[in-house]
Amino acid sequence: MDYREYRPVPSLVPFVDRLWTLVGPAVPDEADVQPVLPDGRPELVIHFGDPFHRVSATGTSVRQAQVLLAGQLTEQLLLKPSGAVAVLGVRFSPFGAAAFLPVPQHHLAGLTIGIDDVSRPIARRIARITEHTDDVHAAVPMVQEALVEHVRPDTADARVQQAAQVISRRGGAVSIDAVAAAVGLGRRHLERRFLATVGIAPKRLARITRFQRALQALEGFDGRAAGARTAAACGYADQAHFIREFRELAGCSPSQHLVRRAELTGFFVTGDRVLSPARRQKRDSVIP
């Protein structure tokens, strides 16, 4: 798999974390289902190859749309490649999708939905790009241009942005009352604004942010004490608390995650993707 990341142009920086491409050969039918874990950020996903299938907990699968919006994940998402992999993704900031999509974000949480069901103008603009080229790397500046045309910075909720930044700086280990006080809002008011703009409550974003921090820490610790050391480093009450949180968000225990560590999981997860040192070096070398 060839994975690359791209910085957004300046006018998109407040709302887009990064763009990424993933290209690979056709995947055999017996390929494993790959878990994608919550990271607190919606994504616009454009398939230039064969769309992935979303697999349910019961094993049934549904072919995804060619161009889709993945809302906030609150639990693991199971995907299975269905052929040639050629994907371009736009990873929004926690509150970024709301600047492009005229939909309350909590309506999209947990969904992977065709972009034409969310924004027909963006769907038409992306369709012109996919008709023009099938090269994901050549499409990156075109997609950025399309997003610049559709961004609505005046709709941004400054208090929500500030709150999300506080949560990020604290690695998720912060009380929501403290976050609300820091941005001058009551807790209930902040929660309502978060649901509309981020798609999940601030407490859920904090839990996911800490979980992502724990994923990175877990990758760095070796041996049987990895779970305990991760729990302590990331501010969990104890190892049992860490394991409960991990099971809810990842669908397995920390030790099972390390065993099942999948290729797509490494590509699609976290604030700074959970990658092996070699893969991280490759990633950093291709950002313009």
CB 34 within 8 A of CB 265: yes
Residue 190 pLDDT grade (very low, low, confident, very high; cuts 50, 70, 90): very high
Residue 260 pLDDT grade (very low, low, confident, very high; cuts 50, 70, 90): low
CB 132 within 8 A of CB 142: yes
**What integer pLDDT is reported at residue 221 of this predicted model?**
76
Q: Is the pLDDT of residue 99 over 80?
A: yes
CA 62 and chain centroid, separation: 20
Q: Is the dihedral of CA 226, 93, 118, 11 positive or negative?
A: negative
**What integer pLDDT is reported at residue 223 of this predicted model?**
61
Residue 265 pLDDT grade (very low, low, confident, very high; cuts 50, 70, 90): low
Q: Where are the alpha helices (DSSP H) in the chain?
A: 120-132, 136-150, 158-169, 176-183, 187-197, 202-220, 226-233, 239-250, 254-260, 263-268, 277-286
User: Which of 52-66, 194-208, 225-239 bottoms out in mean pLDDT, i.e. has the lowest?
Assistant: 225-239
**What integer pLDDT is reported at residue 25 of this predicted model?**
87
**What integer pLDDT is reported at residue 258 of this predicted model?**
74
Task: Determine the 3-state secondary structure of 24 from DSSP.
Answer: strand
The string of pLDDT tens digits covering residues 32-72 is 788 899 999 999 999 999 999 999 988 899 999 999 999 99
Query: Percent of the chain beyond pLDDT 90?
Result: 68
CATH code reported for the domain at 2-153: 2.60.120
The ranges assigned to domains in the chain are 2-153
Indicate the angle between helix axes 187-197 and 176-183, nearest 10 degrees. 90
**What integer pLDDT is reported at residue 261 of this predicted model?**
60
Q: Is the pLDDT of residue 263 over 90?
A: no
CB 143 within 8 A of CB 90: yes
